[in-house]
Structure formats: structure tokens, C-alpha cells
Amino acid sequence: MSQYGKYNPSESQHGSSLFGYGEVPVSSNKLNTWNGNIDAALSWLAQCLSILCGGQAEDFILEEGAGEELKVVAQSPPAMAVTVNEGKALVALFFAGLDAAENVPATGFIEAPSENPRYDRVHLDSFGSLGVSQGEESASPVPPDGPAGTVSLALLYLRPGMTSIQNEDDSANGYIVDDRPRALLGLAHRHNADRSPVESPDGTQSDFSTESKFVEGSLDVYVNGILQESGIAFTPHTDRHGYTFASAPPAEYRVEHRYLIEQS
């Protein structure tokens, strides 16, 4: 299908001329052509809707008020697998998601690291399928990239000897770090692209910057994957372009942030 627009029954590329009234049987060639036209039209519709939602270049979770959409949480009781809440997302210019909570991985079990910790990444693809990408073990592990055409939902920090994956770090087991890119009302609010400040922790640096101006009250700051309490552990800058820690993070600590960009 090479033309898009209002349906025109006299236009051969819209497929109407393929069939005659009451034609039975219908050849597989005609059915395949018709199915291809429908697929092309729906793909075009999905891309148009994604652009209207601000998804020209970014994937994001579609929030419907609760903020729990497609959030990765510990099982109850915590086990060596996790649960992904129902929800919708824009993934690779297509809408995808879950209409009910689903456990991952499909095997029901994530192997613990043998010698050093590692990160695994939970992701969703444009077909609505969940997956887990395994990272490399290291004394200072780095999160793995997800496959092309997927949106990241969470990072799992895993330790040798762990027996479960928790919502919070208990210093013994694995834990979940929320990694969902979120957007509210399309272009009205957009999530930051910079995950970390330019500045690096060195034990004396307490001021850190954000690439963009953040919406007041939207800044979340993490140290080694742990959410910090605003007003106590750190204070947002009045110009909303950074934040100051009450105590400078030690060298080798990991500082990350998330916020909604203030639209000009």
C-alpha cells in the first residue's frame, strides 16, 4: 500500500477492486494483499498516534493517574522472579502493554550471580512481550542494554548468595530499581534524557546539575539505586537545574536522577 488517506472504494490500492460481490472462494493471493493493506494502514495509524503523544524519538509509559503502570515489583512473598503490573507504553512507535500483571522471567527463576554482583534489565517489546537481559558480574557492575525495539522497565541489582528479589535494598538480597521512562499528557510533560549528572562523586562534591530545568516537585535522586528523601538527603536548587546533597557522596558512589522537563 503506497497511498494513505480517506478510504476510497474506487482506488485500486485501497483494495476494493480486488473482490467481486459474493466471490467464493477468494484466492489466497487476494486475501494476502488485503491483509497487507490493513496491516500497513494500522501501522501508519499507530505511528501517527505516537507522534501526537510526543513519541517521535522516545519511548515512554502511559500513566493513567496511579503511577504504577508497568511497574516492576517484588513477588509476594519475594522470590527469585518479579512481577510486572498491567499498563500501556509507547514502544518503538507502537502501543504495547499488559492487561493483567505478569511474572517474569518465563522460567520463573533468575539465577543469582556466582562471585560478583550484576545488573539485569527487565524490558517490554512492541509486541507486548516481557524479557530479562542479563548483565556481566563485576565488583562495579554496569547495567546491560536492552534489545533494540524495547523499553526498559527496571534494573535488578543481584548479589551472590541472594535468595529473593526485594522492592528495597536489604543489603543481602537483590532489589529492584525502577527504570520506566514516563510521560504525562504527551508533550505537556517529558521525562529527562540525562540519567546522571555531569559531576562525579568524589567525597567533597555536594552540588550536582541536571541537563534540563525540571518541573517543581518532580525531581527524584538516587544514590546507588536508592531513592533519596528530598529536603533531607538533598535539596533541589531554586533555579531547578540541579540539587545539593546534605553530605557529599563518597567517591565511586553512583548518583542518578529522574525528573519531568519544564516545557518552555
pLDDT tens string 52-90:
665 545 677 777 666 789 999 999 999 999 999 998 888
Region 241-260 average pLDDT:
94
Please give the span between the terminal C-alpha atoms of the chain, in angstroms, as a whole number: 39
Q: Strands, DSSP E only, in 85-180?
A: 87-91, 94-98, 102-104, 118-125, 130-134, 150-158, 165-166, 174-178
Rg (CA), the chain: 23
pLDDT band at 24 (very low <50, low <70, confident <90, very high): confident
Residue 187 phi, psi (nearest 5): -75, -10
d(CA 176, CA 225): 8
Q: Give yes or no for a contact between 196 and 249, defined as CB atoms under 8 angstroms apart.
A: no
Q: What is the reported pLDDT for 187?
A: 43
Most confident of 96-105, 156-165, 216-225: 156-165
Average pLDDT, the chain: 85
Four-point Cα dihedral 144, 145, 150, 152, nearest 10:
60
Question: ω into residue 236 within 30 of 0, thus cis?
Answer: no
Region 24-39 average pLDDT:
74
d(CA 149, CA 259): 23
pLDDT in tens, 91-140: 887 788 898 999 999 889 999 999 999 999 999 998 899 999 999 999 99
Q: Give yes or no for a contact between 160 and 172, defined as CB atoms under 8 angstroms apart.
A: no
Min mean pLDDT across 129-138, 231-240, 253-262 is at 253-262
pLDDT over threshold 70, residue 191: yes
Q: Smallest Cα–Cα separation from 70: which of 24, 26, 129, 15?
A: 129
pLDDT over threshold 60, residue 257: yes
pLDDT over threshold 60, residue 186: no
Domain assignments of the chain as residue spans, ordered by start: 12-52, 60-187, 192-264
Q: What is the reported pLDDT for 12?
A: 63
Residue entry with cell 543469582: 112
pLDDT over threshold 80, residue 216: yes
pLDDT band at 188 (very low <50, low <70, confident <90, very high): very low
pLDDT over threshold 90, residue 159: yes
Q: What is the reported pLDDT for 185?
A: 40
Question: With pLDDT > 90 as the criterion, what percentage of the chain qualifies?
Answer: 56
pLDDT band at 45 (very low <50, low <70, confident <90, very high): confident
Residue 33 phi, psi (nearest 5): -65, -45
Q: What is the reported pLDDT for 256?
A: 95
The most distant pair of C-alpha atoms in the chain lies apart, rounded to whole Å, by: 80
Q: What is the pTM of this model?
A: 0.58
Residue entry with cell 515489583: 73
Helix (H) or strand (E) holding 48: helix 28-52
Q: How far is CA 228 from the centre of its chain?
A: 21
